[in-house]
Structure formats: structure tokens, C-alpha cells
Amino acid sequence: MKNTYIKALLATAAFGLFACNAEQQTDNSKPERQEAAAPNIILLIGDGMGVPQVSTAYYFGDEQSNFSEFKHIGLHRTADVTHKVTDSAAGATAFSTGEKTYKRAIGVGADSLSRETILEYLQTKGYKTGLISLTTITHATPAAFYAHVTDRDMHEEIAFQLSEANVDFVAGGGRNFFGKRSDGKNLYKSFLGKGYHLDTVALSTPEFDKKNIFLLADESMPAKIEGRGEFLTEATTNALSYFSNNESPFFMMIEESYIDWGGHDTNKEMLISEVEEMDKTLGLVLDFVKKNPNTLLVVTADHETGGVSLGKYLTKDPKTGRMKEDPTQTEVYFDTDQHTAELIPVFAKGVGAENFQGIYENNEIYHKIRMVVDEK
């Protein structure tokens, strides 16, 4: 009886040991969890675009604005380290480096030393990169993502730094700073020597197995009301097609530049037409995000321009000579032809969009993007 009990006990222990070993073997045989794919990042900047400019899309647009697609909306404060009212250079540098800097600075901190930009950081993570602008591609906003200079007007140096930056897709103006330089250098040869597809005549189909650069104006592109055509939407479509044909994640900055210029010129027609162009471009990008949900889209501006407001539309009564309101219309008013210190809207959609709600400093946009990228 005693021997039978011992045998049963040993058998039970052996079975338990076997079960543990079997469980360990089963656990060890499980495949490791796959890391989530790195998200695409699209930063769409409407230079000079505050809440009143966005509002024109609702009062002057022909269709429902694409801005209505956003559920995650915030505001950012634009002041730089030297001025309460910032410029595009310091504003874009805050986005690109995560640090506030001084007015006119490009890709450098308050100490004038270079800072790594979000574009440069993501290149080290295997990202493809792209830049689109209606201005010269050496202008303050696009330059802040690849260049490091102490003053925004150093266009030839900025152009040289672009030739060394290995950006995969570039579209904008600025031919004069690449081919007609005071130092005699021909930066076109530099791009071609690095295998770029270069076009200075037309927005041709990008070559998917090469880097691409399109420089289609001596300096900035014309305004929409001056006959620019569909450059911004077509360049955005081409860029999204290019990145879709590459397996790597991508970072792209797109700038609608002329909302700012409409404010500087206090030109209502220019401002409205450029916001409409921004809205169309936004629609294209939103379609991409819907089809590619592992994408973060952030839409914002570096500052507001013009002190714009929307108010009563007044006309003169031909009988009395008095001003009277037309209740069926609204008017665009400008308080200044300069930048202002208004808080700027931030619209986000896609992976990590919830991080962009609230009110925060402009340089936090960099850190919020990094949060999304680094947790993947």
C-alpha cells in the first residue's frame, strides 16, 4: 500500500514536471510580437493662416470645407525668444527642431548653433523625405527643415545645404539660387551627380527609383490669382504617388505660402483663393490618410498675417448715401499688413492625432510628432 502511494506521488510529480516543460516549450515556440510599422508624417503649413483665414473657407468656399473632417483640434502660441510677434523662420524652426529661437533664424537655436531637424532625425530612422512650397524652396519655412543658417536671407547658402541634404522629393521655386549663383557654382550638376531626376521646366512624373527635384520658377511661384494653376495640388498628388511606390515610411512638409502674402498685401481676393487652394490640397491629403491610416497629418501655420477678421458687409444706400448692411454677405477686414501674435489653430488626423488637442507652445508640435514616431 505504501509503495503504491509513493508510485502515485512520483507519477503525479512527473506529470506536473512534464506539463511545466511542455508549457515552457509552447511559450518559447510562440513567435515574437511584430513591431508596429513606422507612421508616415505629413505636416501641412498654411503660412499666415489663423482662425479667420480658415473661416473664409466656410463663408466663401463653394463646397463644405475639408477642415470639417477634423475632430482633434488645438491652438499654439507663436512667440519666439526675441519677439512676441514672430516670423516664418523662427516659427518653422520651432516646428522642425523643437526649440524656440530668434527671429530670422533657420535651423539654429537661440545660441546660433545648429539643431537637428525632424527631417534629419527621421532620415536616420529610414524615412523618405519631401518638401513642397509655393515660394522658393530656400524660403524660410521649407528651409527650416534642412538648413542651418543665422539669417533667412542667406539663400545661396541654404540652396547649397539643400544639395547636401538628400531630400527625396522637392518641388517649388528658386532656380536662381541653384543655377545663377554669385559664386559661379552650378548646383544642378550636384543634384544630377547624386542621381536626382531634375526638372526646371515642368512638374513631370517623378521617377520612383530616384530622388526628384522640381524647380519651376526663378524665385517664388506666382499667386493663384496671377495664373499659378494647379501646382500645389499636382505636386502633392505626385509626391504621394512617389512615396506610395516606396516601401519606406515618409515625412513630408507641404507649404501653402500665399495665404501669408495675401495678408501682407491686404488682398482679399488673394487670401480667399489661397485658402481655397489650401482646402483642396487638404482634401487630397485627407483621402490619402483615410486609405493609409498609419499616417499622422498635422495642419497648422507658423503665424497669422494681416490681423484678419470677418465682419459685416456694408454698402452705400443710393437714396440716403448712408452705409447699410447686406445680411447675406460677409466682408474680410485687415487690421495690419504685418504678422500678428494670434494663437494659431492645429488640426490633426490619423495615428496619434489625440496628442494635438489643447493649447501649447509652437515648438511642442515637434515633440508631439516625435512622441508618435518614437513609440512605434
Q: All 3 cell numbers of residue 213? A: 527635384
Binding-site residues from annotation:
47, 139, 141, 255, 260, 264, 302-303, 339
Dihedral over alpha carbons 217, 218, 222, 227 (to 10 degrees): -60
List, as residue ranges, the binding site for Zn(2+): 47, 260, 264, 302-303, 339
The answer to whether the CB of 133 falls within 8 A of the CB of 141 is: yes
Assign 160 to helix, strand or coil.
Answer: helix
In contact, 74 and 329? CB cutoff 8 Å: no
Among candidate residues 65, 88, 163, 257, the one labeled active-site is 88
> Strand order of the sheet with strand 212-215?
197-199, 212-215, 169-173, 128-136, 250-256, 40-46, 295-300, 344-350, 72-77, 358-361
Cα 37-239-123 angle, rounded to 5 deg: 50
Q: Cell 502633392, residue?
A: 236
Length of the chain: 376
Amino acid of residue 211 = K
Q: Binding site residues for Mg(2+), as ranges? A: 47, 139, 141, 255
Contacts with 257 (C-beta within 8 Å, 6 or more apart), sequence order? 47, 133, 134, 135, 139, 141, 220
Given the C-alpha cell 488640426, which residue does it identify? 347
DSSP state of 206: P
The three cell numbers of residue 138 are: 530656400
Catalytic (active site) residue 55: no
What is the full DSSP assignment across 30-82?
SPPPPPPPPPEEEEEEETB--HHHHHHHHHT-SS--GGGG-SEEEEEE---SS
**40-67: buried (b, 16+ CB within 10 Å) or exposed (e) per residue?**
bbbbbbbbbbbbbbbbbbeebbeeebbb
Q: What's phi and psi for 327, nearest 5 deg?
A: -70, -10
CB 157 within 8 A of CB 177: no
Q: What residues are annotated to the active site?
A: 88
